[in-house]
Structure 1
């Protein structure tokens, strides 16, 4: 039975992206800059000719899990600065025509199921929200900000106390691009 002494993962750095590794990982591209600090003490992050290298010596189960998690975060940072993330959502209503607008750092949903007071959803971080007709587009370079903003909008129109088979009004995710 062979024991893995060093577990190593490599992430290629595409052209046009600059990665610096010190106490935090900084990824720069034409669309902006993302920074993130990883605190797991067993995972060593370094940079070698065109690669971000993650290493764990004598890995335990938690170390292997953290290695995969950190690799996914850095990959998402690189992908966000090369392509960006875009989530398309659809405004659906059958009973009361709702109006959705962007005010400051919040999405305001008025007349949802005929309610008197508007519901609000916070726009997180650097995510941008675009509302056109019955379509809402959430886009940005940080996957976590875009995903959390989309979830906030979806949760703001969650129906409680009514039959969801009858009352299907809301704002729902249609596509991730």
Structure 2
């Protein structure tokens, strides 16, 4: 049995889980998420918990078992608590601001980089060098944060650019780092 797959997913107060065939709808205070899962996985709600079972011990079923359970757990956590990613901007003159529903970034280009908020995602800019992406869908939050980081990834010499909070940038020495003969 999959160690992850066999764990039951506790349903917190205020969260409602509906299983319709292979489609799971999770409704909570923050959002409503719906996702369809593989037809071989059996999903049921028993005693205030979601249970995922698999039909056999085939390799495909074993891998789908843990995946399905994790995706449903992320949906439950997303509608109850939500997910967030924090990004940090490093560099002289690099900054971010929020104008209406748009994220406006000055990243050393000849123009400003403007990114509009998408459905289910909210952007906070508590400081000119910090961006926080919030949302109920873990995949959407991670994808949007990656798209923001992609606009100016951190470079290895001075570390200028956009990076995740807690991410370590492997730094390189410049030309002067070589030994002289």
Q: Where on the TM-score scale, by shorter chain, does this alignment land: which range?
A: 0.7 to 0.9
TM-score by length of 1: 0.79
Q: Which of 164, 171, 175 does residue 156 from structure 2 map onto? A: 164
Cα distance change on mapping 1:25 and 1:88 into 2, 3 Å: same
For 2:101 and 2:57, the matched residues in 1 are separated by 43
1:125-158 CA-to-partner distances (Å, cap 9, x unmatched) read: 3111011322111112111111111111111112
Structure 1 residues 58-97: aligned runs within 5 Å: 58-94=56-92, 97=93
Cα distance change on mapping 1:72 and 1:60 into 2, 3 Å: same
Q: Which of 128, 132, 135 does residue 130 from structure 2 map onto? A: 135
Deviation at 1:119, TM superposition (A): 3.2
TM-score by length of 2: 0.77
Q: Which runs of 5+ in 1 are unaligned?
A: none
CA contact (8 A) 1:157 1:171 kept: yes
For 1:89 and 1:147, the matched residues in 2 are separated by 11
CA contact (8 A) 1:121 1:156 kept: no
**Secondary structure class of the residue paired with 1:116:** coil
Equivalent position of 1:107 in the other structure: 103
Deviation at 1:44, TM superposition (A): 1.4
Equivalent position of 2:164 in the other structure: 173
**Secondary structure class of the residue paired with 1:153:** helix
Deviation at 1:73, TM superposition (A): 0.7
For 2:60 and 2:11, the matched residues in 1 are separated by 26
Deviation at 1:10, TM superposition (A): 2.7
CA contact (8 A) 1:121 1:152 kept: no
Equivalent pairs, count? 162
Q: Which runs of 5+ in 2 are unaligned?
A: 168-181
For 1:105 and 1:13, the matched residues in 2 are separated by 33
**Secondary structure class of the residue paired with 1:164:** coil
Equivalent position of 1:45 in the other structure: 43
Cα distance change on mapping 1:27 and 1:108 into 2, 3 Å: same
How large is the Cα RMSD of the aligned pairs?
Answer: 2.5
1:30-50 CA-to-partner distances (Å, cap 9, x unmatched) read: 222111111x22111122221
CA contact (8 A) 2:153 2:163 kept: no
For 2:115 and 2:161, the matched residues in 1 are separated by 13
